[in-house]
Amino acid sequence: MILTATHLSKIYGTTLNLTKALQNVSLNVGTGEFLGIMGPSGAGKSTLLNILSTLDQPTSGQVWIGDQDISQLRGQQLASFRRKELGFIFQDFNLLEALTVEENIILPLTFNKTPAQQVNAELSRVTTVLNLTQLLQRYPAELSVGQRQRVAAARALVVKPKILFADEPTGSLDSYSATELLQYLQLLNQSSQMAIVMVTHDAFTASFCKRILFIKDGQIFSEIVRKNSRQEFFDRIMDMQATIGGGGKTNALQSGS
């Protein structure tokens, strides 16, 4: 197991106006697994992902990544843990607009004080996989949305994280760019031991995962595992979405916030 979460709860607000965003959620992520998290808008997907990825603290419950209890990490320790072990991709492409694609991608390595030789090796590794070699000297403003998201992915992957967290990574992409990105992610997931935890509302995107957790009203509703073809998996996801209700475009738009 690369990640273990037990009895996670998250409560927002005051005693007068409580939102139970998560209630008693437990889950495991195996090494090299590609886990999807699905559910209607407001189900608590982002909340869950933020807690798993150390960006937020649960009201109660524990998260272990590797053999580290992340609630024990503070300040600089936490920052360094994130930098070395975790990768992040968000729906809106978080790139530094003032830097070129290359500078954006190698930025995390500069914080790690990686030697120049290795920086170049890592750079060419991720840029080859994500097909970015032609774009290295461009600025983010000169890229298409799909390209930007690939740069964001490259930056997340350049440090070889043990686990990659993605919140609606395809939420702003057209279907072509989305497929492209997902194929790259799938490739990386298969070729390395990196686990991926991806939140999505979209059945097609989710069909790239190996296992999907459905959550509703802050609780795990059900789980499905891919056995055969992606098409068959996709159909089962659609069925489950119909059962659970919700989903669709509105979800994609809201879950970015």
In the stretch 13-52, what mask flags binding to Mg ion with x, by CB under 5 A?
---------------------------------x------
In the stretch 17-46, what mask flags binding to ligand ADP with x, by CB under 6 A?
--x-x-----------------x-xxxxxx
Contact yes or no for 109/119 (Cβ under 8 A): yes
Q: Is residue 69 packed enough to be buried (19+ CB in 10 Å), middle (13-18) or exposed (0-12)?
A: exposed
In the stretch 45-84, what mask flags binding to Mg ion with x, by CB under 5 A?
-x--------------------------------------
Contact yes or no for 44/35 (Cβ under 8 A): no
Q: Kindly tell me which residue out of 92, 114, 204, 246 binds another protein, with binding defined by CB under 8 A.
A: 92
Q: How far is the CB of 218 from another protein (least distance, A)?
A: 17
Q: How far is the CB of 183 from another protein (least distance, A)?
A: 25
φ/ψ of 110, rounded to 5, equals -65, -35
In the stretch 133-172, what mask flags binding to another protein with x, by CB under 8 A?
--------x-------------x-----------------
First-residue to last-residue Cα distance in the chain: 30
Query: Which pairing describes strands 60-65 and 211-216: parallel, antiparallel, or unpaired?
Result: unpaired
Which residues in the chain belong to E strands, given as ranges? Answer: 3-12, 19-29, 34-38, 60-65, 68-69, 86-89, 163-167, 195-199, 211-216, 219-225
Contacting residues toward another protein, per CB under 8 A: 50, 55-56, 76, 79-80, 82-84, 88, 90, 92, 94-99, 107-108, 110-112, 141, 155, 256-257
